[in-house]
Homo-oligomer: A and B are copies of this chain.
Amino acid sequence: MKTVGTAVGAPPRPGLRERKKQRTRDALVRAALELIAARGYEGTTVDDITAAVEVSQRTFFRYFASKEEVAFFVTRLAESHVVDAARGRPPGEAPLEVLRRAVLDSWDTINEAVEQLVPLDLHLRVYRVIESTPALLAAHLRRASELEEELARIIAEREGLDMDADPRPRILVAAFGGVIRVAERRWSTGDDVSVAAMKEVMTTCLDHVGPALAGNWRAG
């Protein structure tokens, strides 16, 4: 009984108000990312962003809890895709394989979803700013640790374990997460920033974990 004149089952087309909100939110995100990519994070004030979109500062903070949050808007999208992919893995699959496939397979849909919002190139430039800005890097790592907690929950549930009694889900995910971050960094600072390259870097990094943990590796 919310709207009239729309077919049952069809997604009720949002009203004017909702669409307006969506538009200003998107405009804020785009302006923010553009400015951050160009002038850096600290070099961009919230007033700069709101001036570009012609809204008040107060409005900005009604959409985003902090200046940080807008910088991670796209990243957030990617994270939710990974979680969904992990949830969708077939039962019985080995835990590490679940994580591996969740990350690798979700990349295509991630890029597609990102493009809807901002150019992929812009996102990459912002990502590099995140990696090189202490305050943002800290926030990024905290977000990553929250994502790991979520993934650990999924693994624990799949395996029928109590996360607080058995440390293995968190351990696996923590080790995995550490490796992913190394791979992310190698990819974003490398020459080839294509999706294929990203997958390749991830794969080789993951393949190195076992051997790296096992004993002496003089035989490079």
Contacts and interface: CB of A to CB of B under 8 A. Distances in A.
B175 A179 contact: yes
A14 interface: no
Interface in A56-99: 94-96
Contact of A213 (B159, B170, B183, B210): B210
A167 B186 contact: yes
A182 B95 CA distance: 18
Nearest to A165: B220
A50 to B, nearest CB: 23
Interface of A: 94-96, 134, 137-139, 141-142, 144-145, 148, 159, 161, 166-168, 170-179, 181-183, 186, 204-205, 208-218, 220
A14 to B, nearest CB: 32
Contact of A167 (B96, B138, B161, B204): B204
Contact of A159 (B138, B139, B167, B218): B218
Most buried by B among A170, A175, A210: A175
